[in-house]
Structure 1
């Protein structure tokens, strides 16, 4: 039977497909780390209290990138170049979602609206990251190679999502509710399109590596399109709601001193 667990196990068991998977993941996390670092450096004076949390967010993303590279190293593998069609972060930027890298490269302070844009974009993408890691946690928490990494990254992604909820609710109470909802809706609709396209590209690359049959590839593509149809119809709503998180001040204080080796 074709399931998420069996599919990922197949990718995990093959060095070439595992190498591509970890390379894509490490690249995306590294980009997230850089973006958060730049945003923290450019936060306007009115939001300087937020900077340490953004720094913590970026540090977590950098840590995740190192973890995926460590998983490669343990197998004696090195990262590969990420195919353009699988670059989730850059494809979102091309859709006009989030803060553009060109803006972040300039040493110009961000506006309060830029900070709201960053948080709303993060709220949507962290929803996806949290769900994906919980899926891996469900099936691979006890895996001797992946288990430790999956538990650590999943916990971090849940913290990031809680932080976005909390900060956006703070801005909503300050009178930015309509702006937040508009950006959340725009980000969610763009994200589900990009996620579909990236999923199709990743599955095509994995299929070529693992020599999947046409029938298997077609079945997986149909499943991806079905998820997109559901998310376009109603699933996007889970990405735009805001509620007080169970984890309060999830990124407050210093990062926990825990070993990050995979």
Structure 2
């Protein structure tokens, strides 16, 4: 029977598909680490209290990238290039979601609105990340090879999502509510389409590596399109709601160290 658990187990069990999976994950986390580090360095004076938390966010993302690379090394594998059609972060930037790398590469302070845009975009993408890691935690919490990594990354992504909720609520109370609402909606609608396209691309690559029959690939593609239809009809709204999280101050303090893999 085809299930999410069996699908991920198949990917993990095969060196070629595992190599691509970890390479895509490591690349995305490294990009996120760089982006957050640059944003932290360019925070405007009026929002300087956010800089340590943004720095912590970036340190967590860098740590996740190192974890995925360590998982590859443990199996004697090297990272492989990420297919452009599977590069979630760069495809989001190409759609104008978040802060452009060109802006982050300049040594000019960001505006207060830039920080609002960054946090709104992060609230959407961290929702996706938290959900994905929660699913992997359900399947592989006790897995001898990836269990420790999945636990740590899942906990971090929950912290990141909590931080976005808390800071956006504070900024909304300070008068940025309309901008936050607009950017959240734009980001969510763009993200669900990009997530669909990236999922289709990744599954196509996995299918070739694993030799899936055409019928299996067709069923998986139909499932991805079905998820997009659900999200387009209203599922995207879970990505734009704001509520005070149970974890307050989730990114206060230094980043935790990576587990021994």
What's the TM-score, normalizing by structure 2?
A: 0.99
The alignment partner of 1:81 has SS state of: coil
Q: Distance in 1 between matches of 2:203 and 2:260?
A: 28
Q: Distance in 2 between matches of 1:187 and 1:134?
A: 22
Give the count of matched residue pairs.
261
Q: Match for residue 26 of structure 2?
A: 26
Q: Match for residue 225 of structure 1?
A: 225
Q: Following TM superposition, by how much is the alpha carbon of 1:259 offset from its aligned partner in structure 2, in angstroms? A: 4.3
Q: Does the alignment pair 1:37 with 2:37? A: yes
Q: Distance in 2 between matches of 1:16 and 1:144?
A: 19
Q: Distance in 1 between matches of 2:24 and 2:38?
A: 22
Q: Match for residue 187 of structure 1?
A: 187
Q: Distance in 2 between matches of 1:107 and 1:78?
A: 34
Q: Match for residue 116 of structure 1?
A: 116
Q: Match for residue 133 of structure 1?
A: 133
Q: Distance in 1 between matches of 2:117 and 2:47?
A: 14
Ranges of 4+ aligned residues in structure 1 off by more than 2 Å:
258-262
Q: Following TM superposition, by how much is the alpha carbon of 1:190 offset from its aligned partner in structure 2, in angstroms? A: 0.2
**Residue 63 of structure 1 contacts residue 260 of structure 1 at CA under 8 Å; is this kept in 2?**
no
Q: Distance in 2 between matches of 1:153 and 1:261?
A: 13
Q: Map of 1:193-204 to 2, 5 A cutoff?
A: 193-204=193-204
Q: Does the alignment pair 1:17 with 2:17? A: yes
**Residue 70 of structure 1 contacts residue 261 of structure 1 at CA under 8 Å; is this kept in 2?**
no
Q: Following TM superposition, by how much is the alpha carbon of 1:255 offset from its aligned partner in structure 2, in angstroms? A: 2.4
Q: Following TM superposition, by how much is the alpha carbon of 1:253 offset from its aligned partner in structure 2, in angstroms? A: 1.7
Unaligned runs of 5+ in 1: none
The alignment partner of 2:104 has SS state of: helix
What's the TM-score, normalizing by structure 1?
A: 0.99
Q: Match for residue 69 of structure 2?
A: 69
**Residue 124 of structure 1 contacts residue 184 of structure 1 at CA under 8 Å; is this kept in 2?**
yes
